[in-house]
Structure 1
Amino acid sequence: MPFFKRNKKENNVKSEVQKEVKKEHLTEQIDNYLSKLEKNESEDPTHILNMLGSLYFEKEDYDNAIKYYEESIEQRKTLGKAFTDLVKLYNIKRKEASQEGDREKVQVYLQKSDDLMKLTKDTIRGNM
Structure 2
Amino acid sequence: MLFFKRKRKEKDAKSEMQQEVKKEHLSEQIEEYLSKLENAEKEDEIPILNMLGSLYFEMEDYDHAITYYEKSIDQNKALGKAFTDLVKLYNMKRKEASKAGDREAVQVYLQKSDDLMKLTKDTIRGNM
What band does the TM-score fall into relative to the shorter chain?
over 0.9
Deviating 4+ runs (over 6 angstroms): none
Alignment RMSD (CA, Å):
1.8
Equivalence for 2:65? 65
1:54-104 deviation per Cα after TM superposition (whole angstroms, max 9, x unaligned): 000000000000000000000000000000000000001001100110000
Deviation at 1:8, TM superposition (A): 0.3
One-letter amino acid matched to 2:88 = K
One-letter amino acid matched to 1:86 = L
Q: Answer yes or no: is 1:26 the counterpart of 2:21.
A: no
Equivalence for 2:117? 117
Give the % identical residues. Answer: 78
Written as runs of structure 1 = structure 2, the 5 A alignment for 1:82-101 is: 82-101=82-101
Equivalence for 1:74? 74
Unaligned runs of 5+ in 2: none
Unaligned runs of 5+ in 1: none
Q: What is the number of residues matched between the two proteins?
A: 126
Q: Distance in 2 between matches of 1:9 and 1:121?
A: 50
Equivalence for 2:106? 106
Q: Distance in 2 between matches of 1:30 and 1:42?
A: 19
Q: Answer yes or no: is 1:11 the counterpart of 2:11.
A: yes
Q: Distance in 1 between matches of 2:42 and 2:28?
A: 18
Q: Secondary structure at the match of 1:60?
A: coil
Equivalence for 1:44? 44
One-letter amino acid matched to 2:122 = D
One-letter amino acid matched to 2:112 = K
Q: Distance in 2 between matches of 1:43 and 1:99?
A: 40
**Which structure has greater helix proportion?**
2
Q: Distance in 1 between matches of 2:13 and 2:42?
A: 40
TM-score, normalisation: structure 2: 0.94
